[in-house]
């Protein structure tokens, strides 16, 4: 079965600082990978998805970017964080039916 | 993206059945109906999915209306650990992404 590793679990960053969140997947090859964000008390917003190495689709224009340097590695980045980037970031992997989600990173921008 | 409508919140008592409704009047013939749930501070967890026939698994049952314009997730005997936000999502066959709505926040009373 698939396992998704996300780190760190929590992160506090000042406004204007860079961001790099990493997600790695075990137990599958050539998966579709996703980054979601959940603002406090809100639903999940799809940010990026990738169907293969180097292939990134952006759902929401913003100051975040994503990269997929390896088959089972998906990275979410920002050059300069905004207060509005605070939220719960989740990486997900598609499987035969449905998705498997990671445990998430709670980002607070101060 | 095909849209689903769910009540914002529901409340039930421990050890009683819970019926969580979902309307999806614009569903197309190839859309699968998926249910996920999200416990506090965790990533969403797959619950069940179906296409036309009712489905049962160890977590829940899914009852799909004959016209497929609505479905109901059934928790047969709710426990306190079932308190979560439940999401009903349409997954078009071959789609590369899942789009989450706001879901139903289920509260279980002891």
pLDDT digits (tens, 9 = 90+) for B23-62: 999 998 888 999 999 998 899 999 999 999 999 999 999 9
Which of A10-45 are b and which e, b meaning 16 or more Cβ less than 10 Å from the residue's Cβ? ebebeeeeebebebbbeebeebbbbbbbbeeeeebe
Q: What is the pLDDT of residue B1?
A: 56
Q: Which among B42, B49, B100 has the least Cβ separation from residue A97?
A: B49
Q: Searching chain A, which residue's CA lies closest to the CA of residue B89? A: A98
Is the Cβ of B102 closer than 8 Å to some Cβ of chain A? Answer: yes
Nearest CA-CA distance, residue A73 and chain B, Å: 18
Nearest CA-CA distance, residue B35 and chain A, Å: 9
Is the model's pLDDT at B95 over the cut of 80? no
Tell me phi and psi for residue A83, to 5 degrees: -55, -35
Distances (CA, A) of A17 to A23, A85, A105, B14, B79: 20, 11, 17, 46, 43
Q: Does residue A83 sit in helix, strand or coil? A: helix
Q: What is the pLDDT of residue A43?
A: 85
pLDDT in tens, A18-56: 999 999 999 988 899 999 999 887 889 999 999 999 999
Taking only residues 37 to 66 of chain B, the set having a beta carbon closer than 8 angstroms to any beta carbon of chain A reads: 41-46, 49
What does the block give as tokens for A103?
């445990």
pLDDT in tens, B14-31: 999 999 999 999 998 888
Rounded distance between C-alpha atoms, residue A100 and residue A77, angstroms: 21
Closest CA to B92 of B28, B3, B25, B4: B28
Is the model's pLDDT at B10 over the cut of 90? yes
């Amino acid at each position: 079965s698939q396992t998704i590793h996300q780190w760190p679990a929590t992160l506090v960053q000042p406004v204007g600082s860079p961001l790099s969140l990493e997600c790695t997947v075990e137990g599958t090859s050539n998966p579709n990978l996703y980054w979601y964000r959940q603002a406090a008390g809100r639903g999940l917003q799809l940010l990026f998805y990738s169907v293969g190495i180097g292939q990134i689709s952006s759902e929401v224009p913003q100051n975040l970017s994503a990269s997929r340097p390896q088959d089972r590695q998906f990275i979410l980045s920002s050059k300069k964080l905004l207060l509005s980037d605070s939220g719960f970031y989740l990486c997900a992997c598609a499987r035969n039916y449905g998705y498997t989600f990671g445990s998430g990173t709670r980002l607070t921008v101060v | 993206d095909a849209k689903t409508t769910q009540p914002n919140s529901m409340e039930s008592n421990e050890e009683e059945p819970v019926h969580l409704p979902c309307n999806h009047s614009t569903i197309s013939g190839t859309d699968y109906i998926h249910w996920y749930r999200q416990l506090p501070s965790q990533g969403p967890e797959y619950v069940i999915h179906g296409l036309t026939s009712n489905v049962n698994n160890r977590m829940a049952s899914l009852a799909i209306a004959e016209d497929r314009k609505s479905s109901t997730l059934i928790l047969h005997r709710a426990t306190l650990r079932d308190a979560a936000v439940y999401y009903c999502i349409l997954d078009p066959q071959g789609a590369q992404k899942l789009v989450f709505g706001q879901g139903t926040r289920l509260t279980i009373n002891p």
